[in-house]
Amino acid sequence: MQPVDEFCWVLTDGKAGMEAQALGLAEAVGLPVTMKRLRGGFPWRFLPAACWPPGVMGLSPRSDQLVPPWPRLVISCGRHAVGPALAVRRRSRGATVVVHVQHPHVPLSRFDLVVAPRHDRVNGPNVEVTTGSVHRITRARLDEAAAAMAEDFKYLPRPLIAVLIGGTNGAYRLDEVESARLAHQLKDLSAKTRGSLLVTPSRRTGEENIRILRRALHAVPSKVWDMQGENPYFGWLGAADAVLVTGDSVNMVSEATATGKPVYRLDLPTVGRVEKFKRFHAAMEELDAVRPFEGRIDLDWTPGTVDDTPRAAARVKALLAERRADA
């Protein structure tokens, strides 16, 4: 084995959802982290990872490069990170522990560990099966962020209800008609609870949908993030008494459940294959971690616990201890 340094590389293509998962697991493991945002070179960025010859990095000159000293740990997420992660494992001669988050769509045995959600239906001796996504949500992070934003909530009536809005993807649709319907539901909830709404859209929500929400909620106690400056996501989740979240994002639903607060799912119209989403939502409901939103919320409900990230991190730490002992 080659010598390695005690740090971790997080390998993704830079997409926010991929980074959140891989970085969340890395932070839970506890090694110093270096982000590596990868861009595939020609022709590799057009080929599935299963077609890459062993040891090929396949990176564009515009990509962050992967060169020695090799790290103790690599955590990759997304198909564009599969080939580079396996190349690091090969070039370090197995000294680097390589973990992939989500289904890599290559033989699982090529990785030291695969962390994949149950709805992906991936199993094996080196697979840690999770209910949802691994993530960066911790009690300490939420409390710190909420304390830093305390003045923003000082005059808002309780309860504070965080609303996480996704958008159109291959399975769900969020258009202007649906945004208006959501806004009506939120206005009605604010009236019933006499509380305030903290609405965080995402990149997929779209400018016109955000305008519809902001215009409709102008007359009720609310804040709608304008997508400018620092994202208030952690602070608003930390301050909230309950969370509503659209069901188009496994990441957002998983992060919401990690708050330990009542979480309700806002269902969007379906436009594509939703089998994986249905399996995920059914699992969350079975644990009583999430309930479908039907117009009301129960602030006295204590939801079931989902501990995917700490459990996956414990598995990685055990692998690191074994590898150090072997070295």
Mark whether 49 and 190 lie in a shared domain.
Answer: no
Q: Which helix (H) or strand (E) holds 213?
A: helix 207-216
* pLDDT attached to residue 50: 84
Count: domains in the chain: 2
Residue 297 is assigned to a structural domain of this protein: no
Residues 166 and 265 sit within 8 Å (Cβ to Cβ): no
Q: Identify whether 119 is part of a domain.
A: yes
> What does the alpha-carbon distance between residue 53 and residue 156 come to, in Å, rounded to a whole number?
58
State whether 125 and 178 are in the same domain: no
Assess whether 271 and 231 both reside in one domain: yes
Same domain, yes or no, for 144 and 253? yes
Tens of each residue's pLDDT in the chain, 327 residues: 667 889 999 999 999 999 999 999 999 999 999 999 999 989 988 888 888 888 888 899 999 999 999 999 999 999 999 999 999 999 999 999 999 999 999 999 999 999 999 999 999 999 999 999 999 999 999 999 999 999 988 899 999 999 999 999 999 999 999 999 999 999 999 999 999 999 999 999 999 999 999 999 999 999 999 999 889 999 999 999 999 999 999 999 999 999 999 999 999 999 988 999 999 999 999 999 999 999 999 999 999 989 899 999 999 999 999 998 887
Within a domain: residue 299? Answer: no
Question: Please, are residues 165 and 203 in contact by the beta-carbon 8 Å criterion?
Answer: no
Q: Tell whether 19 is covered by a domain.
A: yes
CATH number at residue 148: 3.40.50.2000
The torsion region of residue 93 among left (phi > 0), alpha (psi -120 to 50) and beta comes to left
Whether 302 maps to a domain, the answer reads no
Token output for 1: 């084995």
pTM: 0.93
Q: Is residue 300 part of a domain?
A: no
Domain housing 38: 5-131+309-326
Given a contact cutoff of 8 angstroms between Cβ atoms, the answer to whether 111 and 100 are in contact is yes
Cα–Cα nearest to 321, from 1, 2, 6: 6
* Same-domain check for residues 32 and 105: yes
Q: Is residue 304 part of a domain?
A: no
- The closest of 248, 208, 220, 252 to 234, measured between CA atoms, is 252
Residues 50 and 189 in one domain: no
pLDDT (0 to 100) of residue 1? 63
Residues 279 and 322 in one domain: no
Q: 146 with 284, same domain?
A: yes
Nearest CA among 78, 105, 81, 133 for reference residue 276: 133
Looking at the fold, whether 317 and 258 belong to one and the same domain comes out as no
- The answer to whether residue 232 sits within a structural domain is yes
List of long-range contacts for 113-121, beta carbons under 8 Å, 24+ apart: 113/315, 113/316, 113/319, 115/25, 115/312, 115/315, 117/250, 117/280, 118/279, 118/280, 118/283, 119/250, 119/276, 119/277, 119/279, 119/280, 119/283, 120/276
pLDDT of residue 327: 72
Mark whether 96 and 199 lie in a shared domain: no
121 lies in the same domain as 144: no
The verdict on 180 and 279 lying in the same domain is yes
319: CATH: 3.40.50
